[in-house]
Amino acid sequence: MKLFVNKLTGIEAPVDPNNPEGPTEKITYAQMIISALKSFRPEGYTVEDLRQHFRLIDQMETIKDKEKELKMEDSDVKKLKEFLKDFKWAVVERDIIEMTDHVSKMKNCKA
């Protein structure tokens, strides 16, 4: 098991995604990951991709709005690392580098 620490970033995003001109709030690492996992991919997704993505999304949803910790199975961490390694970000933000570095260096923890 590995420990994911959900941190607040300096990245601002709309509180209501349907109202991009409305108020904004700072987002967390988990919110960044959820957004990336749900993003459009020109080549599409296989059913197995969808299963893996929703497994990670469901875990991140439990802590997305909080600065909390999440214990993750090694296999899930491996899938998350593989996904983040190849994901193309649409913005230039240092918080993205910090989050991906955090995922790459997650510490072992007890179940």
| pLDDT value at residue 41 | 86
pLDDT, tens only, 35-62: 999 998 888 999 999 999 999 999 999 9
Would you tell me how many other CB atoms lie within 10 Å of the CB of residue 2?
19
Cα-Cα end-to-end distance for the chain: 6
Q: How confident is the model at residue 98 (pLDDT cuts 50, 70, 90)?
A: very high
Give me 20's structure tokens.
């991009």
pLDDT band at 75 (very low <50, low <70, confident <90, very high): very high
Q: Which residues, 6+ apart, have CB-to-CB distance to 32 below 8 Å?
A: 9, 11, 95, 96, 99
